[in-house]
Structure 1
Amino acid sequence: MTTLAETKVLLEELVAFPTVSSDSNMAMIAHLASRLDGCGARVEIYLDPSGQKANLFATIGPETDGGIVLSGHTDVVPVADQDWATDPFLISEADGNLYGRGTCDMKGFIAAAVAMAPRFAETVRDRPIHFAFTHDEEIGCIGARALAQTLGEKGLRPSVAIIGEPTSMRIVEGHKGCYEYSTHFTGLEGHGSAPDRGINAVEYAARYVARLLDLKEALKARAPSRSRFDPPWTTINTGAVIGGHAHNVIPGLARVDWEMRPVQAGDAELVKSDLARFCAETLIPAMRAVSPDADIVTETIGEVDGLVPADENEAKEIVMELTGETEADCVAFGTEGGIFQAMGMSVVICGPGSIAQAHKPDEFLAEAQLSDCLQMLDRLGGRLSQ
């Protein structure tokens, strides 16, 4: 069986694990650990506080600093309310494409990396190669932040990270940050016929969203003059407004789920300070004039820093050598790359599949992209044998 065929079998096995972020990834982690252990890798599994999720960190090669990390997240986004033509957790093939949830985002890269582990076990000499497979990237890079802390506590210091998010095998050296929040509104329920006797949490949520829209427009004027991002400014997105039960009931609770993707740290501070002032000086006083228990509380789901393009980037140099690419891009979508960069590593994003397919029904990975990824990793194995 060819390496590509073996990788496709492994990818089919990985897709069959329904590792939606709300559920456990333990079965998939155990499967990957078994495969890597069978290649002689030193495998560590780090549980989250619930014991239902885990990160995997494995090493092939010497126990030294300066290793190369192959990184991927094990969780996938939900398939609920999506119209799939096939079972999303069973691989189907058509026209050279592999269909299934997580095929491109990003179990394809994980399958390729693990399928190449026997090659690495044969070739790695003076520089270790690490496998870092995390939980809960899709809901705030929770696993990667925990893994960074664990590696720091253990004194492990890899120097290069290749994040296999879907870039169509292009090299990405920078991306925006991703800050996600849920803002909770506590009002006072009452009968709809007497609105002044209650506090309509949905209406206050709507005023909050209106402020977000004002900030969203204002940020366009703050775009750095040489921004390489598309769009070049910090964006804000209102993902959900939730609240209310019936036409004639004043809703006492509401929630706004929103995010921003900063291109510069000052933008994030501007948005957060403006909203805090708007709530403290305008919304909350009006609410508490009716009930002292009224409140607005913003919950931070995750604040993941962007990946900053670096003048000196060994990861970029290595992957350019492996792929033959001569240019590196910046993208708007977020990854765990900024977390690894903050640990002192040089980082690039390069993986099989298109981000245009991620999170959608009938997500797919082109088999040709998987083959290109295997070639890149095979060359990496050769490079580490020198």
Structure 2
Amino acid sequence: MDALNRSIDILRELIAFPTVSTDSNLDMIQHMAGLLEEAGARCELIAAPCGTKANLFATLGPERDGGILLSGHSDVVPVSDQEWTSDPFAMEERDGRLYGRGTCDMKGFIAATLALAPVFAARVKDRPLHFSFTYDEETGCLGAQHLSEVLKAKGLTPGVAIVGEPTEMRIIDGHKGCYEYTTRFSGLPGHGSLPDQGVNAVEYAVRYVNHLLGLKDALRSRAPAMSGFDPPWTTVNVGALTGGVAHNVIAPTAQVDWEMRPVQIEDATFVKDSLHRFCSEELLPRMRAIHPDASIETEVIGEVAGLEPADDNEARRIVSELTGANTSDLVSFGTEAGIFQALGMNVVVCGPGSIEQAHKADEYLAIDQLGQCVRMLERLAERL
């Protein structure tokens, strides 16, 4: 069986594992470990603190620095409230496309690496080849941050990382950061007819969101002159605002889920400092004048560094040789690449499929895209 057909078969197996970020990924991780062990890889399952998830880190070749890391995340986003025309966890082939949750984001790349594992094993020599399959990328890159700590403790640093997020096989050597937060408001309930005797958490959450929207507009003018991102400025998104209990009850609690995508670290500092001043100097004094125990607390869901373009990037050189591409691009979406770069690796993002299909109903991966990925990995095997 050729590598493309083998990749499709493995992808069908991976899609059947419903590894939504809220659920366990252990069955899929163990399945992938089995495939890699059959190829001769040394596998380590790194349990998450919750005990229901794990990273998989595997190695072919010698145990030393300077290896090549193939990286993907095992989790997928939910399918609830999406109208699919087929079962999202039973891959279906139609018109040259492979449909299913996670086909492009990003189990297609993972399947291709697993299909090529026996070929890698037969050719690896002095330079090790690593596989990294993580948990909870979609909820703050928690698994990659955990893996980073483990690699530091081991004193092991691969030299090159290829992160197989969907880029239509374009070479991406820079992307924005992704900072996610949940801000919770605690007020004082009461009867809706007596608003001055309570602290309406929803009203203060709305004022907070209005301030965020003001910062969102202000960030446009802070875009670096030579920014290559689209859009070129740091963005802010309010994902959800929830709170309250009934029409006639002063809302005791509220919650705002929001994120920003910094193009420069100074913008993140600008936003956080402004919010801190707004809460401490305006919102909290008003709230606590009525109820001393009122509070505003922000939980950091994840602060994932961006991928900084580098003039000298071995990963870019290697993938350029493998794909024949002589240019690289920037993207606005985030990946685990910045975490690996912070460890000292040369990193690019390059994988099959388009981000336009990710997170949507009827997510798909074009078979010709998967074929391009397989050919890239076959050429990588020839270099080992």
TM over 0.5, shorter chain: yes
Q: What corresponds to 1:99 in structure 2?
A: 99
The reply on whether 1:168 has 2:168 as its aligned counterpart is yes
Q: What corresponds to 1:289 in structure 2?
A: 289
User: Quick one: distance in 1 between partners of 2:145 and 2:123?
Assistant: 31
Q: What secondary structure is seen at the aligned counterpart in 2 of 1:59?
A: strand
User: Quick one: distance in 2 between partners of 1:237 and 1:269?
Assistant: 16
Gaps of 5+ in 1: none
**Structure 1 segment 1-386 matched on structure 2, within 5 A:** 1-384=1-384
User: Quick one: distance in 2 between partners of 1:168 and 1:255?
Assistant: 37
CA positional deviation for 1:244: 1.3
CA displacement 1:184-227 (0-9 Å, x = unmatched): 00001111111111111000000000000000000000000000
CA positional deviation for 1:65: 1.3
Gaps of 5+ in 2: none
Q: What secondary structure is seen at the aligned counterpart in 2 of 1:250?
A: coil
CA positional deviation for 1:231: 0.2
Equivalent residue pairs, number:
384
User: Quick one: distance in 2 between partners of 1:355 and 1:258?
Assistant: 21
CA positional deviation for 1:156: 1.0
User: Quick one: distance in 1 between partners of 2:46 and 2:181?
Assistant: 26
User: Quick one: distance in 1 between partners of 2:50 and 2:195?
Assistant: 43
CA positional deviation for 1:51: 1.3
Structure 1 stretches of at least 4 aligned residues deviating more than 2 Å after TM superposition: none
User: Quick one: distance in 1 between partners of 2:3 and 2:325?
Assistant: 23
User: Quick one: distance in 2 between partners of 1:80 and 1:198?
Assistant: 36
Give the letter aligned to residue 163 of structure 1: V
Give the letter aligned to residue 286 of structure 2: A
CA positional deviation for 1:2: 1.8
CA positional deviation for 1:64: 2.0
Q: What secondary structure is seen at the aligned counterpart in 2 of 1:36?
A: helix
CA positional deviation for 1:125: 1.0
- Residue identity over aligned pairs, in percent, reads 65
User: Quick one: distance in 1 between partners of 2:49 and 2:179?
Assistant: 23
Q: What secondary structure is seen at the aligned counterpart in 2 of 1:23?
A: coil
RMSD: 0.5
Give the letter aligned to residue 131 of structure 1: F
Task: Report the TM-score, using the length of structure 2 for normalisation.
Answer: 0.99
CA displacement 1:282-325 (0-9 Å, x = unmatched): 00000001100100000000000000000100000000000000
CA positional deviation for 1:245: 1.9
CA displacement 1:85-130 (0-9 Å, x = unmatched): 1110000111100000000000000000011000001111111100
User: Quick one: distance in 1 between partners of 2:106 and 2:158?
Assistant: 22
User: Quick one: distance in 2 between partners of 1:30 and 1:239?
Assistant: 33
Q: What secondary structure is seen at the aligned counterpart in 2 of 1:223?
A: coil
CA positional deviation for 1:353: 0.3
User: Quick one: distance in 1 between partners of 2:299 and 2:272?
Assistant: 12
User: Quick one: distance in 1 between partners of 2:85 and 2:369?
Assistant: 22
User: Quick one: distance in 2 between partners of 1:59 and 1:201?
Assistant: 51
Q: What secondary structure is seen at the aligned counterpart in 2 of 1:368?
A: helix
User: Quick one: distance in 2 between partners of 1:52 and 1:353?
Assistant: 29
CA positional deviation for 1:155: 1.1
Q: What secondary structure is seen at the aligned counterpart in 2 of 1:270?
A: helix
CA positional deviation for 1:4: 1.1
User: Quick one: distance in 1 between partners of 2:49 and 2:137?
Assistant: 16
CA displacement 1:317-352 (0-9 Å, x = unmatched): 000000000110000000000000000000000000
Q: What secondary structure is seen at the aligned counterpart in 1 of 2:18?
A: coil
CA displacement 1:60-93 (0-9 Å, x = unmatched): 1122210000000000000010111111000011
